[in-house]
């Protein structure tokens, strides 16, 4: 059975059984009808995924792996903040008339900084360090730029990656300030797992661990019955995931370079209400 399923079920059970409810408090998020979107939450959830053992797509339901990777490449490779460059509609709620989400996500990745090795953006700095100083403990990105927060249509949820090389393995920590568990958990896990695998391949390493740290891991009140049904479903073995081995440059990857095989999963959950 998939280890990602077990981690997901244990996390959800922990939130539902022992979490803190915000019901009756003043909350920012609202449902489409304007009513407050309360949550049950746990603070400081940490999940570890060993990418050398399996690809961490849950099988309780289908995770749209290529769509998740497309969004990751939109941020990390295209360094775009315009939804017209994105194949899915997941950012439509936060885009302006021109398609921009403001100075968020890909915009921050495109900003150039003066590093010791020269002027470059955060992604190119990570790649340079992995190739030239892999022993460094300073290989990281951070897109939570306080100077630009007022010009972001949504402040970054997954905001920081820290990379660490141990032997021949590339590991990473994904820091996330907040996560809607039903809507986004496995989506984020999948896309940042693929990022680690891509960077490992082009920088000469094997993919190691992804450690996912969530400050506020929450389940919205209207999602509770869905989560209860979801975590009671049958579990299947993890799918087989491979990258095109011929790609040697991170900027050459596309979603066509991804192969997913033997992905057994439960039925997709449709029309999930989204709090904004």
Point out the residues that are catalytic.
Answer: 157
Task: State how far the Cα of 133 lies from the Cα of 136, in Å rounded to an integer.
Answer: 6
For helices 224-231 and 181-203, give the axis angle rounded to 10 degrees: 60
- CA 58-142-66 angle, to 5 degrees, is 30
SS3 166: strand
DSSP states along 91-115: TGGG--TTSB-BS-THHHHH-EEEE
Residue 222, exposed/middle/buried by CB under 10 A (0-12, 13-18, 19+)? middle
Radius of gyration of the chain (CA): 19
Two structure tokens written together for 27: 């909350």
Two structure tokens written together for 217: 């891991």
Q: Where are the beta strands (DSSP E) in the chain?
A: 20-21, 39-50, 112-115, 118-121, 139-142, 158-166, 169-180, 206-220, 240-243, 258-261
- CA 193-141-208 angle, to 5 degrees, is 30
Output b/e per residue, 40-67; b: 16+ Cβ within 10 A: bbbeebebebebeebbbbbbbbbbbbbb
Q: Which residues are annotated as a binding site?
A: 137-138, 177-180, 188, 218-220, 275
Q: Which residues are annotated as a binding site for dUMP?
A: 137-138, 177-180, 188, 218-220
Look-up of token digits 């999602």? 223
């Amino acid at each position: 059975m998939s280890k990602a399923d077990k981690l997901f079920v244990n996390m959800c059970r922990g939130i539902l059984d022992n979490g803190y409810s915000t019901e009756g408090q003043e909350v920012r998020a609202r449902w489409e009808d304007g009513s407050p979107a309360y949550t049950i939450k746990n603070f400081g959830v940490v999940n570890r995924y060993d990418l050398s053992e399996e690809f961490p797509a849950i099988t309780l339901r289908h995770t749209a792996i290529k769509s998740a990777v497309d969004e990751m490449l939109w941020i990390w490779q295209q360094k775009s903040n315009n939804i017209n460059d994105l194949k899915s509609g997941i950012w439509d709620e936060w885009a302006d008339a021109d398609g921009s989400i403001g100075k968020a996500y890909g915009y921050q990745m495109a900003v150039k900084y003066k590093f010791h090795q020269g002027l470059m953006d955060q992604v190119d700095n990570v790649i340079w360090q992995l190739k030239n100083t892999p022993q460094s403990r300073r290989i990281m990105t951070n897109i939570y730029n306080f100077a630009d927060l007022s010009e972001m249509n949504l402040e970054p949820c997954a905001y920081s990656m820290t990379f660490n090389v141990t032997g021949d393995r590339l590991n990473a920590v994904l820091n996330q300030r907040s996560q809607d568990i039903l809507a986004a958990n496995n989506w984020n896990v999948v896309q940042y797992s693929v990022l680690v695998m891509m960077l490992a391949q082009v920088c000469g390493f094997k993919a190691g661990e992804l450690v996912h740290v969530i400050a506020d891991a929450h389940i919205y009140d209207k999602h509770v019955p869905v989560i209860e049904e979801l975590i009671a479903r049958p579990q299947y073995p993890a799918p087989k995931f491979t990258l095109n081995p011929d790609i040697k440059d991170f900027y050459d990857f596309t979603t066509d370079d991804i192969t997913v095989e033997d992905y057994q999963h439960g039925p997709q959950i449709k029309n999930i209400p989204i709090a904004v």
